[in-house]
Amino acid sequence: MSPQRHPKPLPESLKEIEALSAPVSCRATDYPAGWYIPSHAHNKHQLIYAVRGVMVVTTGGGQWVVPPTRGIWVLSGVMHEIRCVGEVHMRSLLVQTDAGPQLLDATQAVGISPLLRELIRAAEEVAQPYQSGTRDGRLMRLVLDELRGLPVLPLHLHLPTDARLLQICEHLQRRLDDDSTLSDWAERLAIDVKTIQRLFTRETGMTFGQWRQQARLLRALELLASGQKVIDVALALGYESPSAFATMFKKQFGQTPSQFFAMQ
């Protein structure tokens, strides 16, 4: 089934919000499962967060999987598209580029603290424009203060530009249970193993094994969010057992799969 698409061009739907002069504004939108928001950019920085559901956000620099309690900070002008895994209740903060120092200077997956989560919920009710000295103004200033301390999280999968590496990565994203070694790929592509190793490190910042592991874990987030059981996900992604998968998941994300999704 092809993904659903936004019923009208996104820049038109955000025109009024993006024209506001307030340093921070909030937009709340609920999307059905499978919804797709085509590639677009904003003239403000954006924090994309879902109180429910999982989003897959793709830019020219790679792909992020964003579950509840996490978000993605997208810099102004960065083209990005969003795919909803399951029903998604999205809350977006749009932040002026001159709103203040110490904001993240790169597109990153970030943690959403319980305090920031509640502030975002309160920000939904703030009417635009607001005055800086009012309760609404003080609330939005606190939101901005919290945005300056966002913790960066390892939810990013960097995609290479080299055509040979891209062939490997696209195959592995389709077949994440494929255990082919670097030697296997070197033979298929008629290039040296050391060349592949060097290219992977240079273009993704990871070794081949690290990239495949990251791809598997991010895909696991999608599958678990859609309601699949841990044992089914582990086997689908090529792990020998659910315990091996859970161990690797906790090593990467600091929590077991059940703990990771507890807030949802």
What is the Cα–Cα distance from 78 to 105, expressed in whole angstroms?
Answer: 12
Q: Domain boundary at 124, 153, 182, which?
A: 153
Q: Domain boundary at 120, 153, 186, which?
A: 153
CA nearest neighbour of 215 among 257, 168, 250, 151: 168
What's residue 223's pLDDT? Answer: 85
What ranges in 133-207 are assigned the alpha helix state H? 135-147, 163-174, 182-189, 193-204
pLDDT digits (tens, 9 = 90+) for 94-106: 999 988 778 888 8
Instruction: Please state, for a pLDDT cut of 90, what percent of the chain lies above it.
Output: 41
What's residue 262's pLDDT? Answer: 64
My answer on whether omega of the bond before 7 falls inside 30° of 0, hence cis, is no
Return the structure tokens found at 95: 């932040």
Return the structure tokens found at 219: 């895909």
In this structure, the answer to whether residues 167 and 109 fall within a common structural domain is no
In this structure, the answer to whether residues 135 and 201 fall within a common structural domain is no
Number of domains observed in the structure of the chain: 2
Return the structure tokens found at 79: 């083209």
What is the Cα–Cα distance from 103 to 199, expressed in whole angstroms?
Answer: 32
pLDDT digits (tens, 9 = 90+) for 71-88: 999 999 999 999 998 889
Q: Is 163 exposed, middle or buried (0-12, 13-18, 19+ CB in 10 A)?
A: exposed
In this structure, the answer to whether residues 116 and 177 fall within a common structural domain is no
In this structure, the answer to whether residues 23 and 106 fall within a common structural domain is yes
Kindly report which listed range (26-40, 46-60, 174-188, 249-263) carries the lowest average pLDDT score.
Answer: 249-263
- Of the segments 2-6, 160-164, 223-227, which one has the largest average pLDDT value? 160-164
In this structure, the answer to whether residues 118 and 52 fall within a common structural domain is yes
* Mean pLDDT across 49-67: 87
Q: The domain containing residue 52 runs over which residues?
A: 4-153
